[in-house]
Amino acid sequence: MSDNNPKIMIVDDEQPIRKLLRVGLVAENFTIIEARNGKDADEIIREEKPDLVILDLGLPDTSGQILLKAWRDENINVPVIVLSSRTDEQGIVQALEAGADDYITKPFGMRELAARLRVALRHRLAQQGESPIFRTGDLSVDLVRRVVKVGAEQIKLTPKEYDIIRVLAQYSGRVLTHNQLLREVWGDVNDVQYLRVYVRQIRKKLGDNAEEPRFILTETGVGYRMAEKS
């Protein structure tokens, strides 16, 4: 992958959306490939090997979730950012759980989209060489010693609270659904309210205001994301 001009495949059947994305992302120094349906996208991803895919869920010949699941089942692990509407929370959750790295809702801001693309690209590159200490703002998480600090103050967390912080830190900048977090931390628990109680306790200990969070960000109706690594 070129550090300066990553190759992005846009999969969307609406020509005006593809044009908007192409113009905006070329200005942000991305190289663009376009696909208007799932069949074209499946061919292009194998032949062109893009660095990242922007995937609309509502394609004319298949659903984005089916296409994404097929790629992940074949170990095609290119980062995928779902493009969807805010009213389709269930579709977003299904796509994330099928292997999407993030999602953007329509309408969207080009700067936010470009920033999300760069986060997903950086996260994928860093997975094999992840630093043992995660930092965002004045929060640090030592993933080896299991020590969490805000500034110089060490924060006392229960084992489950730490596990939630650890998982979010390992996927910083990427949204994790409620079910993904529950499976990672508890395995067989599926009570979202249970998770919300723990996140509320963690935020209180970190001094993280839920209304204007610095560390653990809420994705309404979907899940949580840790602020990007700094």
- Whether the per-residue pLDDT at 2 is higher than 50: the answer is no
Global pTM value: 0.76
Looking at the structure, tell me whether residues 164 and 82 fall in a common domain. no
Peptide bond into 107 cis (omega under 30): yes
Task: Note whether residue 51 is domain-resident.
Answer: yes
Two structure tokens written together for 93:
């959750």
Over residues 194-204, the pLDDT tens digits come to: 899 999 999 99
**For position 48, what pLDDT does the model report?**
92
Beta strand 216-219 with 80-85 is unpaired
Looking at the structure, tell me whether residues 104 and 215 fall in a common domain. no
Looking at the structure, tell me whether residues 36 and 120 fall in a common domain. yes
Q: Given the structure tokens 């089942």, which residue do they identify?
A: 73
CATH number at residue 45: 3.40.50.2300
- The parent domain of residue 46 ranges over 7-128
Looking at the structure, tell me whether residues 16 and 104 fall in a common domain. yes
CATH number at residue 213: 1.10.10.10
Give 139-156 as a DSSP string: EEEETTTTEEEETTEEPP
Over residues 114-168, the pLDDT tens digits come to: 988 988 887 776 654 556 788 999 999 998 788 999 999 999 999 999 999 999 9
Task: Note whether residue 166 is domain-resident.
Answer: yes
Looking at the structure, tell me whether residues 98 and 147 fall in a common domain. no
Task: Note whether residue 2 is domain-resident.
Answer: no
Dist CA 162 CA 168 (whole Å) = 10
